[in-house]
Structure formats: C-alpha cells, structure tokens
Structure 1
Amino acid sequence: MKWQNVLKDYQLYLKIERGLSKNSIDNYALDVKKLINFLEINSINHSPIKISAETIQQFIYHIAKTVNARSQSRLISGLRSFFNYLVFEDYRKDNPLELIESPKIGRKLPDTLSEEEIDQIIKAIDLSKPEGERNRAILETLYGCGLRVSELINLKISDLFFDEGFVKVTGKGDKQRFVPIIDVTQKYINLYRNEIRIHLNIKPGHEDTLFLNRRGKQLTRAMIFTIIKQLAEKIGLKKNISPHTFRHSFATHLLQNDADLRSIQLMLGHESITTTEIYVHLDKSHLTKVVEKYHPRK
C-alpha cells in the first residue's frame, strides 16, 4: 500500500465524512507529508500499514529539533488522526501513536488590542486612496463581527442582511451562522460598496464577493495580514498582531462589558465553549466585578 494513495483516501474521508474545510484538510495532509518526506530522506521503506511506533518516535525526535512544543503537539495530533483512520478502515490493527505523548504546553493567550489601539489603527488608514475605504470596512468588519480571516475574505454580498441586522458567515467545515452587525459597521461597508467597489472592473466569478482587490478579484489571506501589519507599523504599535487579534479583541471587549460566554461562543462559531474560554482571557478585575454584581450575598 502506497503512502500517496492512502493519503488521497484520507483527504476524501476528511472532506466527506468529517466535513472539514479545505484549510483543515490541507493541514492534516501536511502532517502526513512531513512523515513521508522523513522516510524518503532516511531511506526507510515502511508502508502505512507496517510503520512502527519506534519509527514514528524517531520522526518526532527529528521534528522536535526544528519546531516549538505547540507545533510538535499539533503534528502528533494530526498523525494520530491519520492512523486512527487506518484503524477505522481496517488497514491496521493498532495506532503507532497510541503511547506517544504530546509535549505539555500552556494555554497561549493571543494578544488583544484596547479600544483606543483599534481606533488608532483605523484612523491611520489613508482614506485619500481608493483602497482606504475598503480597508476601513475590512477592519470594522473583523472587529465588529469577530470574523476569522477566511470568513472575511469569503463574505458575499448575498450574505449581508442589513435590514435584519445580521450577516451570514460560513465558518470551519462550511458551517453557517448568523452574526449581528452593528450600524457603524454597516455604514462603512455601504460606503465601500457605493463609492469604491461599484467602480471596479469585477472579474467573472467574483461578482458576489464583498471585498475585492484593485483588479476586481477576491482578496487573499496574506493581503489582509499585510494591511494590518503596515498599519501597526505606521502607528508604532509594538504588539505582534494579525487579523485574529481583532477577533480576539471583539470577544474580550464583549466579555468585559458583561456579555455572557455562551453568546460569545455562538457569535465566534466555536463548537465547544472550552475553545471560547481559551480565546477570551478573564482578568481578575473583571471576575471581581462579576462576583460583586451578581453574587446573591454581595
């Protein structure tokens, strides 16, 4: 049994059976490809069925020299999923990663921006340039709706339900949710649509895509990262920020203003509330305020 053939079947399984997004499938496949590459470089001729736990451990020791504990843990998890699939399909009787432990890692809390810092970043946008109105609408949408960068670039005009006060968002695994959108975010999206987007030479297939580049095509994830990095540098911000920082700030600010965790979970599109707890770090001062406000014996 050849690795490449099994890998193709595994990717099909992830897509059809588990309903994962393309990005997730590509990441799972990359984990297996790294193992295949290690075997080829070291002339280890083991098939997916015959490869042993000892060989997997050698590969992990090799990888551990070049990646941090978090990346190592994610790789082990990805490979464990792959071999679980082989067991599920009766290709193997055991999972060679069953007894291999992931390195212990603490919960990494993403950087968050204050309301003042978000205002500074948005004010730094040069509105005299055509892309200025677009970039302001992009950042207002990231922060105003708490979107992932992939959700933002895939947002459609047909997903905007401004009269009802919602946008339809397609998240991980093509799961859809409705997220409230405030008036100020609607205003900046409409400004971009009516003053900038309407004048673009929109390429076929992109007519319904909301945010476009100057050539009339969908923006890339990398472009959103670049826009944010350049604005952070412009105002001298020392924090290491990304599109996700706006999503995390959205959730944090809602929590600090007494939104409940369950509502935040639904808006972020998290399947588990445990995930929401990781993104939304609770500081002691906020917890104290919650107890003082809601405890029956206050």
Structure 2
Amino acid sequence: MKWEQAIQDFTYYLKIERGLADNTIQNYRLDILKLTNYLSEFDISVSLEAITEEELQGFIYETSKLLNERSQARLISGLKSFFDYLIFEDYRKNNPLELIESPRLGRKLPDTLSTKEIDQLISAIDLSHPQGQRNKAIIETLYGCGLRVSELTGLKLSHLHFDEGFIKVVGKGNKERLVPINSYTQKFIELYKDEIRIHLDPKPEFKDILFLNRRGARLTRAMIFTIVKQLAKQAHIQKNISPHTFRHSFATHLLENGANLRVIQQMLGHESITTTEIYMHLDKTHLRSVLEQFHPRA
C-alpha cells in the first residue's frame, strides 16, 4: 500500500469511525506527512509495511530538535495511532513505535480567573461601543456555560432552549450535548439578540448563528481571542488569559462551591473523567474547609 493512500484512508477512519474533530485529524495527518517528507529528504526508500523502529527513531530524533516536549509527545502518539490502524487493517503485523517512549510531561494546571477578576474584566467592556453589548454576552456565555471557543462561535439561535433552561452545544467530533444556562447569562444573550443582533443583516449561511460580526458573518476563533486579550489589557489583568480561561474558571468555581465532578464532566463535554480531574487543583484553604465541614473527626 502506498503512503498517500494509507494517509487518506487513515484520515477517513479518524473522521467516520473515531468521530474526531477536524483540527485533531489535521494534526494527525500533518505528523505523518512530516515522516514522509523526512524519508524523501534523506533519500530513504521504504514502504509503510517495512519501515523499522530504527528508521522511525532517526525521524523522531531529527524532528524533535525543533519541538518542545509536548509536541514531541503528540507526534509519537499520532504515529503510534497510525501504525495501530495499519495493524487493524492487516497491512502490518507489529507497531514499530511500540518500544519508543514519549517524553514524560508534567501535568499543566490551567490558568483561572477569580470571580473578582472576571467582574473586573467585564466592567472594562465599553457598552457605548457598537459591539460592547455583544462582547459582554460573549464573555458571560463563555464563563456562564463553560464553552470552548469553537462551541461559542458555532452557537445557533435554534439551539437556545431558554424555556427549558438549556442550550444545545456542538462539541468536539460534532458531538452534541445540552448545557444548563442560568438566568443571569440568559439575560445578556437576550439583550444582545433582541436589541443588537436584530439590526444586523446576517449573510444567508449565518442566519441561525447567534454571535455575528458587523458584516453579518460568523465570528472567527481569532476574533474571540482578540476580544479577550484587549479586555484583559484594559482591565489591567496581568495573567496570560485566552477564551479557554473562562472554561477553566467555570469548572474550578463550580468545584470550589461543591459541585460534583461527574456533573462538571457532563457540562464540559469531557469523554473521560480523568480530563475533568485536572480541576481538582483547589487552593489549600478550600481543601481545609471541606475537611472541616465533612470529616467526622474535624
């Protein structure tokens, strides 16, 4: 089997059978293309059925010079998945990366904002500006519902089920989930929707999209990042924050106030509870108060 055909079949498998997000599939594909480019550059003529551990070690050694440890780990993981797929399809009998270890990564704790910092950031929004009310609704939705930035930009008017207290969110791999929405966040969405968005002329393909730019098109991920960065600067918040910071803050504040980890997992749309467990990084004063409140010997 040729490399090009194998890569194409693998990406199809990741999309259809594994249901992975397009960005994830693209990263897998690029990592395999790096391997084929390396083989071509160093004039190594080898089939995917015959490539050995030694040849892959040479590739990883050369490529890793330009990558940090996290990127190295992702590269090795992606290649392992590719060769596991080849075994699954009976093109190979073994995985040549089986004995190649990924770099050991420390667990990076997400940055969070305190409720005071979030209020401070929202207060920095200029509501006299044409996009001020929209930007306030965006920040309140990111924090109030714990959405990923792609989930926010793809949020539809038809997915707002306010009477039931939920919004429908399309997450990674086009997986849908219902996320509860509080009346406070709902108020700012309705304010934007009924008083600002109603005066826009949405492009036909974006008529059902909630958050629009001035030209009636869907907001990009980059635009949301820019809005957040500018607000942080205006609010004099020194932390390096992004739209994802509000998702981290959402989960952390829920946990600190006694929410069940499984419930938070459902709201965030995490497939595995281990992903949600990263939010167990509570400050020691909170841990002590939990001990004193619930332990029989306290």
Paired with 2:37 and 2:128, the residues of 1 have a C-alpha distance of 50
Following superposition, the deviation at residue 209 of structure 1 comes to: 0.7
- In structure 1, what residue type is equivalent to 2:71? S
Task: Provide the secondary structure at the position in 1 that maps to 2:205.
Answer: coil
- 1:208 aligned residue: 208
Structural mapping, 1:181-200, within 5 Å: 181-200=181-200
Q: Do the aligned partners of 1:251 and 1:280 also contact (CA within 8 Å) in 2?
A: no
Say yes or no: does 1:265 pair with 2:265. Answer: yes
Q: Residues 151-176 of structure 1, C-alpha deviation per residue, up to 9 Å, x if partnerless?
A: 11111111111111111111112222
Following superposition, the deviation at residue 62 of structure 1 comes to: 1.7
Say yes or no: does 1:112 pair with 2:85. Answer: no
- 1:221 aligned residue: 221
Following superposition, the deviation at residue 50 of structure 1 comes to: 2.0
Gaps in structure 2 of 5+ consecutive residues: none
Following superposition, the deviation at residue 247 of structure 1 comes to: 0.1
Following superposition, the deviation at residue 36 of structure 1 comes to: 2.0
- 2:285 aligned residue: 285
Paired with 1:188 and 1:37, the residues of 2 have a C-alpha distance of 50
Q: Residues 239-286 of structure 1, C-alpha deviation per residue, up to 9 Å, x if partnerless?
A: 111111000000001111111111111111111111101144233222
Say yes or no: does 1:138 pair with 2:126. Answer: no
Say yes or no: does 1:63 pair with 2:81. Answer: no
- The list of structure 1 runs, each at least 4 consecutive aligned residues, that deviate by more than 6 angstroms after superposition, is none
Gaps in structure 1 of 5+ consecutive residues: none
TM-score for the superposition, normalised by structure 2? 0.96
Following superposition, the deviation at residue 130 of structure 1 comes to: 1.6
Paired with 1:44 and 1:280, the residues of 2 have a C-alpha distance of 48
Following superposition, the deviation at residue 101 of structure 1 comes to: 0.2
- 2:247 aligned residue: 247
How many percent identity over aligned positions?
67
Structural mapping, 1:122-161, within 5 Å: 122-161=122-161
- In structure 1, what residue type is equivalent to 2:157? I
Paired with 1:214 and 1:207, the residues of 2 have a C-alpha distance of 13
Following superposition, the deviation at residue 198 of structure 1 comes to: 1.1
Q: Residues 210-255 of structure 1, C-alpha deviation per residue, up to 9 Å, x if partnerless?
A: 1111111111111111111111122222211111100000000111
- 1:175 aligned residue: 175
Paired with 1:118 and 1:126, the residues of 2 have a C-alpha distance of 15
- 1:98 aligned residue: 98
- In structure 1, what residue type is equivalent to 2:67? V
Paired with 1:39 and 1:233, the residues of 2 have a C-alpha distance of 46
TM-score for the superposition, normalised by structure 1? 0.96
Structural mapping, 1:2-81, within 5 Å: 2-81=2-81
- In structure 1, what residue type is equivalent to 2:195? E
Paired with 1:251 and 1:294, the residues of 2 have a C-alpha distance of 21
Paired with 2:145 and 2:62, the residues of 1 have a C-alpha distance of 41
